[in-house]
Amino acid sequence: MLTESESAVAREVLLHGPLSRRTLAARLHLSPASLTRLARPLLSAGVLIELDDDGDGTVGRPSRPLDISPAAGTFVGVKLTGDRVHVVATDVRADLLDARDRPLDDPSPRGACLAIVEAVEALGRDDVRGVGVSLGGHVADGVAVHAPFLDWHDVPLARTLEDVLDVPVAIENDVVALAEAERWFGVGRGIPGFLVVTIGAGVGLGLVVDGRTVRTPDAGIGTVGHLPLRADGPPCPLGHRGCADALLTTTAVERRASRALGRAIGFDDAIALARAGDPVLRELFADTGDALGALCALATTLSLHSDVVLAGEGMQAFDLLRERTEAAVSQLRPPSASPVSLHPDHSGFTAWARGAAAVAIQAAMGRIDLAR
């Protein structure tokens, strides 16, 4: 298996390659001799490859940049909700190759496992090296300890799927997985600390500090959804008045839109009517933008980080929220504070599934067997 130093070399090339040996050695603070020693087994095992000579303008022999082998295979990411299975195939850098979804008719552990296996097999990939599964709730050591949207408790999901798929399976909380994808392969790459705020069926918060994603039991149970944002706001299902869940989730928007119009309306239809100019719904989304801005201002102030990735299926409405969100963030932070940068991800459930694939890639980088 890879040593810690060999893993560092492979990881650096994965995240930032192709890299010349000179650049790679400088990034890892290694001598040329040490880098040669560490890279040799990775090249022999086919983990790394050498590209054609590339003169980098320095004196001496041309450099042969190192890159991750294209034979690294495919990774599959699966996002489970209470009623659907969203699946993606990616390459080793989490670039999207395929994306599909299907209904989850039976949300029991057995039914979900069967649906995941069918979804993975339907991709038709014969080079899958790892599968990641993300879901809302508390996840630990491959076990879904508590998944409220699925009504699961202590489900050994990773072991069950590995027995059927015959590939390594990684299970992670969906917000944590999305934060890992942004940290390794997204806008967070190279940023030591940032936040991920997710808006969808719930409100989630991921946190990266000093290049590491924070993992605690509370990271997976949506506590941020119950932060109070408006004293006169509507109550959430738990009775918290004006909290993030009561104002920002897709179901909260549906509920407020239906009350305002006097008829039932779904989230997508509410967006369409607001974009078409409906004054009632435009004001409702503007008000939602105020609440999102308040949440981002609070989160950035308490975390001392000023970059925020906004993700989740609720972000399809961000064009209706942006102006008021940005204004609220600016208004609620002192002028001397660092300006907040908002990075919206509009890919919806694909982003969640890609996060799961990223977790599978991370796990694979730690278990490469050089003896094969």
Query: Which is it for the CA torsion 340, 251, 217, 8, positive or negative?
Result: negative
Alpha-carbon distances of 232 from 50, 202, 215, 229, rounded to whole Å: 62, 20, 33, 9
CATH number of 189-346: 3.30.420.40
pLDDT of residue 164: 95
pLDDT in tens, 147-173: 988 999 999 999 999 999 999 999 999
pLDDT in tens, 32-64: 999 999 999 889 888 899 998 655 555 555 568
The domain segmentation of the chain, as residue ranges, is: 4-71, 73-180+352-365, 189-346
Residue 7's nearest CA partner among 359, 371, 368 is 368
State the fold for domain 4-71: Arc Repressor Mutant, subunit A (1.10.10)
CATH classification number, 73-180+352-365, choose in 3.20.20.70, 3.30.930.10, 2.60.260.20, 3.30.420.40: 3.30.420.40
Question: Which residues touch 334 (CB under 8 Å, ≥6 apart)?
Answer: none
Q: Residue 372: pLDDT above 70?
A: no
- Least trusted range by pLDDT, from 170-179, 184-193, 353-362: 184-193
**Two structure tokens written together for 206:** 């991921």
Q: Residue 288: pLDDT above 90?
A: yes
Q: Do domains 4-71 and 73-180+352-365 have the same CATH topology?
A: no
pLDDT of residue 230: 93
Query: Are the CB atoms for 311 and 345 separated by under 8 Å?
Result: yes
pLDDT in tens, 194-203: 999 999 989 9
- Least trusted range by pLDDT, from 70-74, 239-243, 258-262, 280-284: 70-74
pLDDT in tens, 227-245: 999 999 999 988 999 999 9
Q: What percent of the chain has pLDDT over 70?
A: 95
Q: How far is CA 82 from the centre of its chain?
A: 18
What is the chain's mean pLDDT, rounded?
91
pLDDT in tens, 81-105: 999 999 999 999 999 999 999 999 9
pLDDT of residue 268: 96
- Least trusted range by pLDDT, from 51-55, 190-194, 271-275: 51-55
Q: Backbone phi, then psi, for 227, in 5-degree steps?
A: -70, 130
